[in-house]
Amino acid sequence: MAISLRAGAAAIVLALGGAGSAQAFDNPFAALFGGGAVSRASYSDAHLSGDYGSGTRAVVEDPTRSRPGTITVDTRNRYLYLSMNDGHAIRYGVGVGRPGFTWRGHTHIGRKESWPNWTPPSAMLRRRPDLPRHMSGGANNPLGARAMYLYSGKRDTMFRIHGSNEPWTIGQGVSSGCIRMMNGDVSDLYNRVKVGTTVNVL
């Protein structure tokens, strides 16, 4: 099912001051945080400021016409929409799966994590045996500042909506199927949604 985008929707840029409501993991932005890898225990949301966490979000007319509170991922155009009550949506730029790794489906948020740890799935390790078997949360972690884990019923799909330590990939098709966001954006979305939120990937 494709999203029918209405042309000419006026975008109102959201204020970024406060959320209301893999490859080699040398982090080129480490200098912004005063060093290299930072553990989750010592890492704080103060590091979301600056270029590393700047956002793409805007309020637009809702092209999805979904029930308020629904997340819709427009894979083709590389946007994520959070539908609101008044016929508008918060739109975020996202990165999506590279060719051969895109997918579509109706899921929901099964759990949420702040500064999540990362354990690559076995299929990814087979493709990339050079990857670490486990990474603690922090600046170098490819899941970024927040992760929302997508489930189908009680089954973990292994796909996530998450932040990124590679912000230049937002708007690109480079992932193994997960939905990537700027760290500032994913933190904003994380604070607006709860476990059980419907996520439609189109």
- Distance, CA of 127 to CA of 102 (rounded, Å): 17
Give the residue, 174 or 127, on which the prediction is more confident.
Answer: 174
Q: What integer is the mean pLDDT of 44-58?
A: 59
Of all residues in the chain, the percent with pLDDT exceeding 90 is: 55
Which positions ≥6 away from 14 have C-beta within 8 Å? 55, 57, 58, 59, 90, 188
SS3 151: strand
Contact between 181 and 66 under an 8 Å Cβ cutoff? The reply is no
Instruction: Provide the Cα torsion 155, 157, 161, 164; round to 10°.
Output: 130
Contact between 61 and 88 under an 8 Å Cβ cutoff? The reply is yes
Amino acid identity at 123? A
The confidence score (pLDDT) of residue 80 equals 98
Confidence of residue 22 (pLDDT cuts 50, 70, 90): very low
For residue range 89-148, list pLDDT tens digits in order.
999 999 999 999 899 999 999 999 999 986 766 776 577 766 665 666 677 788 999 999
Q: What integer is the mean pLDDT of 1-16?
A: 37
- Distance, CA of 85 to CA of 5 (rounded, Å): 18
Q: What integer is the mean pLDDT of 185-190?
A: 97
The confidence score (pLDDT) of residue 133 equals 56
Amino acid identity at 137? G
Question: Which domains, ranges and CATH numbers included, belong to the chain?
Answer: 12-201 (2.40.440.10)
DSSP bridge pairs for 135:
118
The confidence score (pLDDT) of residue 44 equals 56
Give me the count of residues in the chain. Answer: 202
SS3 72: strand
For residue range 141-173, list pLDDT tens digits in order.
889 999 999 999 999 999 999 999 889 999 999
pLDDT > 60? residue 189: yes
pLDDT > 80? residue 35: no
Q: What is the mean pLDDT of the chain?
A: 77
Q: Which residues are catalytic?
A: 162, 178
pLDDT > 50? residue 32: no
User: For 100, left (φ over 0), alpha (ψ -120 to 50), or beta?
Assistant: left
Backbone φ and ψ of 168, nearest 5°: -70, -10
Q: What integer is the mean pLDDT of 35-49?
A: 44
Token pair 């948020």 is at which residue? Answer: 109
The confidence score (pLDDT) of residue 194 equals 98
- Distance, CA of 163 to CA of 166 (rounded, Å): 9
The confidence score (pLDDT) of residue 160 equals 96
